[in-house]
Amino acid sequence: VSYEAEAATLAGGTTVTNCAHCSGGKKLSYLGSGGTATFSNVSEPAAGSYTMSVSFMSVGQARSAVVTVNGVKQTVNFPETPDYNTVVTKDVTVQLKAGTNTIEFSNPSAGAPNLDRIVV
């Protein structure tokens, strides 16, 4: 199931910006350094380990994000991408429960990558 980043709940200065090469034509900018994006409607029929594909851009340098799934945090490193015309994906293993899950992207101390969407 695909979840567009622009449909997430945003806080701390994270904004939706246009992106011609992104799914849905939008991406999140200013994620990290206090900015967050929370997907609170990620639903799965059974508990278990799932692969979450994160579509992103990280122009100029590699960046990291803290991915919090139902309160459990993991730091994920995202490689540098060549330009704002190239959206790439990174697979992250997450533990989900049966029913509705909450997945938050943040970085308390630095900028995180621009986020396009997640697919679980």
For the stretch 21-41, pLDDT in tens is 999 999 999 999 999 999 999
What residues form DSSP beta bridges with 10?
37
pTM value surpassing 0.75: yes
What pLDDT is attached to residue 100?
A: 97
Longest CA pairwise span in the chain (Å): 39
Number of domains comprising the chain: 1
Q: Which two tokens stand for residue 46?
A: 């059974």
Check: CB of residue 63 under 8 Å from CB of residue 28: no
| CATH assignment at residue 79 | 2.60.120.260
Confidence of residue 18 (pLDDT cuts 50, 70, 90): very high
Residue the block writes with tokens 């970085």? 107
The Cα–Cα gap between 64 and 30 comes to 13
Confidence of residue 91 (pLDDT cuts 50, 70, 90): very high
For residue 113, the 8-state DSSP code is P
What pLDDT is attached to residue 110?
A: 94
- Can you give the residue range of the structural domain that contains 10? 2-119
